[in-house]
């Protein structure tokens, strides 16, 4: 069960919290703050609402809604504090910059929970699976906090660290970035003593502009005060990252463990005399588990504890989740990058399967100038694969369709930019015994097809 925020342990009123954010409290009250929110819809009794300004919405417009739902204070720009007085009756904390105020409060809170060993995890893909595996191990040894879901950005990380409590021995948090300078801010909040970098891929290039820039920015997780750092042996730009690290980094790779591939049932792992099975599909997810084992081992966790903790471990929903039945669904719809898409296609292509293998592919977003090249690359993998049919969806996938035609792909191909048409095409062509992979960037929500596939499967049950 997801742990809630622990901000209430401070036992502070808005006027006591204001100096921690370099703010001024207007209309002080004796009500205690128990949690912080950036979405007014999530506010409840005791909430501190941060009126952030986003690309599409201005949080200031929702301060009255936050109050109606139970917020005891709102954090607003000082320039709009008087305006806020007329809109809400709760305490108002006026600050120069609302996001910076959230960061300052989070950093102060982390310092309050200074007994915990904090581990930061970053990388283009694999952060969440690595985080979940490591937190699962550590929680078998001592109280452990972790990033809820994937709240890992400059907006999400502050909310995540509020789940720490003074009783926690460990805290495992994702640090996800999509623009230059963001890692500096995240590190200033968490200040992890241990950090792991999974890989560098062609993601978020619309803002990073180059993979080398991505590597330099993510490498900042190995900050000057870091005590131990870990990195995948396969990580691109390894020399660049290691050269910039203040400490020697420990490399890890799949061959660090003995692993028997069980196909869609996961992997049977032998390590330091212990055996256990993890329900993660594909070599890329095995590597995430190995990274978690490596960090846990360095923290002194015994092999027996690691094995007991990871027995039956599964990645979170949407990360190669397997739904068996008359039609077997591989739900890898949570997100899609070049690395994760190419890895799962290559893995499933080599998988022995009695029926046909089919794939529904949506676009890989935020690839910038590399988008066309990456989508053609996906087609090149498909062209030499054992997939008998490819359903391509979205404007970016047109380049993949054209490339498949150029390469003479012998399987069947459909292409559309209309989701309803995609659903009809999939329903029409899926048969009993098929294995179907769903893969696309999260914004596409390709998992909307799952009910269609399940209904189709029920006809054969």
Closest by alpha carbon to 118, among 135, 105, 101? 135
Residue 383's pLDDT is what? 93
- Residues 381 and 374: their CA atoms lie apart, in Å, by 11
User: Any idea what DSSP says for residue 332?
Assistant: E
Could you confirm whether domain 7-97 is CATH 3.10.20.740? no
Classified by CATH at the fold level, domain 113-310 comes out as: 3.40.1190
Closest by alpha carbon to 397, among 435, 439, 356, 434? 439
Q: Where are the domains of the chain?
A: 7-97, 113-310, 321-458
If one counts every other C-beta atom within 10 angstroms of the C-beta of residue 243, the result is 9
Q: Quote the tokens at residue 141.
A: 């040894």
**Domain 321-458 - what CATH class?**
alpha beta
CA torsion sign for 25, 46, 189, 366 is negative
Residue 287's pLDDT is what? 96
Residue 22's pLDDT is what? 97
Report yes or no: 98 and 50 within 8 Å, Cβ to Cβ: yes
Residue 57's pLDDT is what? 84
Residues of the chain below pLDDT 50: 1
Read off the pTM: 0.92
- Residues 333 and 42: their CA atoms lie apart, in Å, by 25
CA torsion sign for 110, 93, 72, 174 is negative
CA torsion sign for 96, 100, 106, 107 is negative
Closest by alpha carbon to 73, among 27, 23, 110? 27
């Amino acid at each position: 069960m997801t742990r809630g925020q622990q901000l209430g342990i401070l036992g502070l009123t808005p006027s006591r919290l204001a100096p921690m954010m370099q703010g001024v409290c207007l209309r002080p009250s004796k009500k205690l703050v128990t949690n912080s929110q950036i979405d007014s819809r999530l506010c409840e009794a005791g909430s501190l609402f941060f009126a952030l300004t986003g690309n599409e919405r201005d949080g200031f417009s929702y301060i009255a809604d936050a109050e109606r739902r139970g917020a005891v204070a709102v954090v607003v720009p000082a320039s709009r504090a008087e305006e806020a007085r007329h809109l809400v009756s709760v305490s108002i904390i006026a600050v120069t910059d609302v996001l910076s105020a959230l960061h300052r409060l989070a950093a102060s809170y982390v310092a309050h929970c200074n007994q915990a060993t904090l581990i930061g995890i970053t990388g283009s893909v694999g952060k969440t699976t690595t985080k979940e595996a490591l937190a699962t191990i550590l929680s078998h040894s001592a109280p452990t906090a972790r990033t809820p879901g994937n709240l890992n950005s400059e907006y999400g990380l502050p909310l995540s660290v509020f789940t720490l409590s003074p009783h926690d021995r460990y805290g495992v948090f994702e640090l996800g970035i999509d623009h230059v300078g963001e890692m500096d801010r995240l590190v200033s909040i968490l200040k992890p003593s241990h950090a792991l970098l999974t890989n560098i891929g062609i993601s978020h290039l619309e803002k990073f502009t180059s993979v080398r820039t991505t590597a330099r920015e993510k490498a900042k997780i190995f900050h000057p005060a870091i005590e131990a750092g870990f990195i995948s042996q396969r990580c691109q730009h390894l020399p660049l990252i290691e050269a910039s690290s203040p400490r020697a980094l420990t490399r890890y790779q799949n061959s660090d463990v003995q692993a028997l591939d069980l196909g869609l049932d996961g992997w049977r792992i032998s390590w330091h005399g212990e055996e256990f099975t993890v329900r993660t599909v594909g070599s890329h997810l095995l590597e995430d588990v190995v990274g978690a084992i490596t960090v846990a081992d360095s923290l002194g966790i015994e092999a027996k504890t690691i094995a007991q903790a990871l027995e039956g471990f599964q990645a979170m929903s949407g990360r190669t989740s397997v739904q068996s039945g008359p039609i077997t669904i591989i739900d890898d719809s949570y997100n899609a990058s070049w690395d994760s898409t190419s890895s799962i296609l290559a893995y499933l292509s080599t998988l022995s399967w009695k029926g046909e293998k089919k794939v529904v592919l949506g676009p890989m977003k935020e690839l910038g100038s590399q988008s066309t090249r990456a989508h053609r690359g996906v087609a090149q993998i498909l062209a030499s694969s054992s997939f008998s049919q490819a359903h391509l969806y979205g404007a970016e996938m047109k380049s993949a369709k054209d490339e498949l035609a150029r390469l003479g792909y012998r399987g069947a191909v459909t292409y559309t930019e209309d989701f309803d048409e995609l659903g009809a095409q999939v329903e029409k062509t899926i048969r009993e015994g098929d294995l179907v992979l769903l893969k696309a960037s999260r914004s596409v929500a390709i998992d909307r097809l799952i009910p269609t596939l399940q209904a189709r499967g029920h006809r054969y049950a």
